[in-house]
Amino acid sequence: MKTKVLKKAEIKRNWYVVDATDKILGRLASKIARVLIGKNKPQYSPHVDCGDFVVVINADKFRVTGNKMKDKIYYSHSFYPGGLKKIHLELMLKKHPERVFYHAISGMLPKNKLRARRLRRLKIYTDSKHPHSAQSPKLIEL
């Protein structure tokens, strides 16, 4: 038996649409990360970027468990003294709801050179309309 190694020319990327309405944020983000990496395909190779495109619609209608709406904090630092900024999940949802999904999914991807390329294949929209209908994406239930 021989193990077949996937080559760059053999990669076929599919488009998927995921509706985030009433889905738990972390569980959905981990399943989306698997599709972006390509682990849902039988020809997965860890050193080849063989993942698919994912379009997330209704990104502001997800759920979280527990008290995360008030307790979860996103941190950013400007690299200047005293430059730490904190924003709660509740306020982040009002200002930038697509960034909540982006942070959750990017945190679940491996921290390597393929991460930025995988995140470029992630498209997040806060309503049910998206401009990717020409690619004829499949609606999947994750």
CB atoms within 10 A of CB 65: 10
- Where in 1-142 does DSSP place strands (E)? 15-19, 53-57, 73-77, 84-88, 122-124, 138-139
Determine the pLDDT at residue 140.
Answer: 92
Structural domains of the chain, ranges and CATH numbers in brackets: 14-64+97-139 (3.90.1180.10)
Instruction: Compute the C-alpha angle 48/4/137, nearest 5°.
Output: 55
Beta bridge partners of 122: 54
Whether the pTM exceeds 0.85: the reply is yes
Rounded CA separation 31/21 (Å): 15
Q: For each successive 10 residues of the chain (142 residues), what is the average pLDDT?
A: 84 96 96 96 89 96 95 96 97 95 96 95 96 94 86
Residue whose structure tokens are 């395909």: 41
Per-residue pLDDT, 2:
86
Other CB atoms within 10 A of residue 97 CB: 18
